[in-house]
Structure 1
Amino acid sequence: MRLRTNVAVLPPSLVEMTTRHVRSAILSGEFEPGARIVEETLCARLGTSRAPVREALRLLDQEGLIEHLPRRGFRVAVWSPTDVLQLFELRRVLERHAIERAFPLPAEGDPLLTVRAALDEMRTADERGDAFERDEAHRRFHTAIVALAGNRQLDLAYEPILLKLQLPMARNIREEARKTSHYNGIRRHTELLAALERNDPAVAYDALQRHGELVYLDLKI
């Protein structure tokens, strides 16, 4: 006998659209850290009901891009310089472990295929001025490097740190483009891929250390 349920299932596309919209507004700098996110305003802006908006905000809260304040709603997450530096330090620790486990890479096939694909997606998005897709591909690039270790638990540990670093990573690339050239971000990642192709763990880790993910953040403790 089939049991009936009253739980409403939201259309995935509606939740995805709302999540993408808010994430894009945060990563582009339209919604600044600390800015309040009002459900009613988003509903009117997107022409949708509250249900997908609430689900999108719940997902972004899990990612660490926004935070819920009791009785005050949501706001864009505020990370102190110390928070950001500590997150980047954790990221480097996990990346170093991945490099130590993965290198030298196997000779057969192309173990860097996923890394190359992410860089190609970054380049394509950058050329058409799609900052959101560029940032998405940027995270896939670094996720693919850690995945080279073939350690599922490492991947699971790395993902939430990278999600929390979405905003500072996007801001670093955005400031780099404003102060120098938008091609510089692509160039840095192309150089990192070239270092990985050397198939030497010391060279690969040195390249990650010199990657420049903090250069344009102007963090002061």
Structure 2
Amino acid sequence: MTAYSLVELAVDRLRRDILSGRNDPGERLVEEQLTKRLGISRAPLREAMRLLAEQGLVEHIPRRGARVATLSDDDVRELYEVRDVLERHAVTTTGEHRDLLRLRSALDTIRAATDAGDRPALADAHRRFHVEVVALSGNRQLTALYETILVRIQLYMAVNMRREAETARASDGVHRHERLFAAVERGDTAEILTALSAHGARTYLS
């Protein structure tokens, strides 16, 4: 395995752990533990951590090492405001001719991951579903920007998704996404925006 693929492996594994709530915001990421768990040396691990820092998922603290990134209450509020603006713009500029194949695939993955109890796969599927909703606008730059915002928000959503999994029925999350998909399928802009607003994103902050 090449050094580059080792970096990719580490980025993928650590990103999935962080975004699925396995690692909490502010939790230290200890090099020695991670090299053993991932089966790689320090060099590719450090490059992976650098890339994750660029994505806003890891922070490097002078003389203390790395940790899962943290966000202030203001950071989270502002990120949600940006998310709302991007979603609203995407939904209101989506044309009539929409290919829902990728969105339907994401919904199928949500169902499968829920049935399997696979939290990392479910977190990925949730994010992919919302990105695909925005991608229907046909604006690639908007979609890319939206995904970077969503990844940072998911740092905090992940913790509460884990709590929700302990207290709510697994099917609840599936039904929320099914309702949103149905609104998109009907092409009713007002209904889509209402579904997004009621989708439960902000409940992850409570």
The TM-score, its normalising length taken from structure 2, stands at 0.91
Query: Could you tell me how far 1:192 is from its partner in structure 2?
Result: 0.6
More helix by share: 2
Structure-2 separation of matches of 1:216 and 1:45 = 29
Name the counterpart of 1:80: 72
RMSD of the alignment, in Å?
A: 1.7
Q: What letter corresponds to residue 25 of structure 1 in structure 2?
A: D
2:54 to 56, 62, 70: 62
Name the counterpart of 2:113: 125
Name the counterpart of 2:195: 207
SS in 2 for 1:215: helix
Query: Could you tell me how far 1:156 is from its partner in structure 2?
Result: 2.7
Please list, as runs of the form range in 1=range in 2, the aligned pairs for 1:35-184 lying within 5 A after superposition. Answer: 35-103=27-95, 105-106=96-97, 111-184=99-172
The number of residues matched between the two structures is 205
Query: Could you tell me how far 1:146 is from its partner in structure 2?
Result: 0.7
The question of whether the paired residues in 1 share the 8 Å contact of 2:156 and 2:204 is answered with no
Structure-2 separation of matches of 1:67 and 1:116 = 35
Task: Write the deviation string for residues 147-167 of structure 1: whole angstroms up to 9, x where unpaired.
Answer: 111112212321211121122
Any unmatched runs of 5+ in structure 2? none
Structure-2 separation of matches of 1:176 and 1:41 = 29
Larger radius of gyration: 1
SS in 2 for 1:67: strand
Query: Could you tell me how far 1:207 is from its partner in structure 2?
Result: 1.0
% of aligned pairs identical?
50
Choose between structure 1 and 2 for higher RCO, CA contacts under 8 A separated by at least 6 residues: 2
The question of whether the paired residues in 2 share the 8 Å contact of 1:94 and 1:154 is answered with yes
Name the counterpart of 2:15: 23
Query: Could you tell me how far 1:44 is from its partner in structure 2?
Result: 2.1
Of residues 148-157 and 189-198 in structure 1, the stretch that sits farther from structure 2 once superposed is 148-157
The TM-score, its normalising length taken from structure 1, stands at 0.85
SS in 2 for 1:33: coil
Task: Write the deviation string for residues 27-64 of structure 1: whole angstroms up to 9, x where unpaired.
Answer: 34332221211212211222211122112211211121
Of residues 189-198 and 162-171 in structure 1, the stretch that sits farther from structure 2 once superposed is 162-171
Any unmatched runs of 5+ in structure 1? 1-8
Structure-1 separation of matches of 2:91 and 2:165 = 29
Name the counterpart of 2:185: 197
Of residues 52-61 and 90-99 in structure 1, the stretch that sits farther from structure 2 once superposed is 52-61
Q: What letter corresponds to residue 181 of structure 1 in structure 2?
A: R
The question of whether the paired residues in 1 share the 8 Å contact of 2:25 and 2:155 is answered with no
The question of whether the paired residues in 2 share the 8 Å contact of 1:175 and 1:216 is answered with no
SS in 1 for 2:3: coil
